[in-house]
Amino acid sequence: MNDFNKPSITVAISTIAVNVDRFISSFFFLPLIDADEVIIVIQGMKDKVSQPKLKDYTIIYDDQYGLSRSRNIAIENSECDFIWFLDDDVLLMTDCVKKIKKNLALNNNPALQTVRMKYLDGRPYKNYTKKKILGRIGSLRVSSVELVVSKNFLLKNDIRFNENLGLGSRFPSVEENIFFLDVFDKGGLVLHFPEFLLKHEFIDRKAMHFSNSAILKAKGMFCFRYGGFIGFLIFTYYLIKCMIVSGRLELMLSLYQGYKNTEGIVKNA
């Protein structure tokens, strides 16, 4: 652990073997100069013979798939105070790592800090909160690349990403939302840093999230994990939205199956 007022940070980037060449040629690596450690987890190496050489970075090869699995590999191998989880398709803003480290120090190193993201055309990725301190409801609208987390808090409370959830798994969604809840429910202070530090290409999330059975089942699991009356209200909101977007009974049934946690994928608080 470094000086309390000068936290060290690992930038952990997840990618897959078939994307490595594109990642190396297009990723904006310059801001990583301010990171104390950079870990790049490359999954699916059994599908690619050549292994890229990226100087000064820790490269971890994994022959399996799963974004949550990749995040957990980074957690186990990080040697810094904080970890910022990134994907291979984001665009980093200049001085983004430096700004994160400064804000962590000014706020006494919280358990979790969220940051902001834009689309490539400059529009905000979502409607961000104006609050500095986030509650459980903050778990509803968070992306994994917006998470900066204390490694010590994760180890102390045995918190990891659920590997049954997230891209590359059976249920490709909500892993970051449940991760947020796990940190908060263990008493972690969660702060929002209102600074746009990265960009991402446009994604029609509404169409994608409410027309995919596996994603809807995952969303139902999140509602179960949230629990209580609020969890039920979130489930009802998703159900209505699914009905409006798709109108398909089988998709609404998938959401319900997730909410009932029929496969026991998530644990309630």
Q: What is the pLDDT of residue 2?
A: 47
Q: Torsion angle of alpha carbons 196, 106, 86, 194, nearest 10°?
A: -20
In angstroms, the CA 160 to CA 76 distance is 10
pLDDT at 145 over 80: yes
- pLDDT per position as a tens digit, 59-110: 999 999 999 999 999 999 999 999 999 999 999 999 999 999 999 999 988 9
Boundaries of every domain in the chain: 9-203, 211-259
Query: Phi and psi dihedrals of 28, rounded to 5?
Result: -90, 95
Give the HSE-up count for residue 201: Cα atoms under 13 Å, Cβ half-sphere: 3
Calculate the CA 110 to chain-centre distance. Answer: 17
At 99 the pLDDT is 97
Q: Which of 54-68, 132-146, 187-201 has the lowest mean pLDDT?
A: 54-68
- CATH superfamily for 9-203 is Spore Coat Polysaccharide Biosynthesis Protein SpsA; Chain A (3.90.550.10)
Which pLDDT score is estimated for 53? 66
Residue 143 has pLDDT above 60, yes or no: yes
Q: What is the secondary structure of 80-133 as a DSSP string?
A: SSEEEEEETT-EEPTTHHHHHHHHHHHTT--SEEEEEEEETTS-BSS-----SB
Span of 50-54, 63-67, 82-86, 213-217 with lowest mean pLDDT: 50-54
Within its chain, how far is the Cα of 182 from the centroid?
13
Asked whether the predicted pLDDT for residue 4 surpasses 70, the reply is no
CA-to-CA distance for 42 and 14, rounded, in angstroms? 6
* Two tokens, residue 241: 């939205």
Cα–Cα distance, 90 to 23 (Å, whole number) = 10
Reported confidence tier of residue 208, pLDDT bands at 50, 70, 90: confident
pLDDT at position 246: 87
- What are the tokens at 235? 């489930």
pLDDT at 209: 82
* Alpha helices (H) in 191-248, listed in sequence order: 205-209, 213-226, 228-245
Q: What is the DSSP letter of 45?
A: G
- The Cα 92–Cα 206 span in angstroms is 25
Q: Please tell me the predicted confidence (pLDDT) of residue 1.
A: 43
What are the residues whose beta carbons fall under 8 Å from the beta carbon of 178, sequence distance 6 or more? Answer: 139, 162, 165, 221, 222, 225, 266
Q: Can you read off the two tokens belonging to residue 188?
A: 């972690």
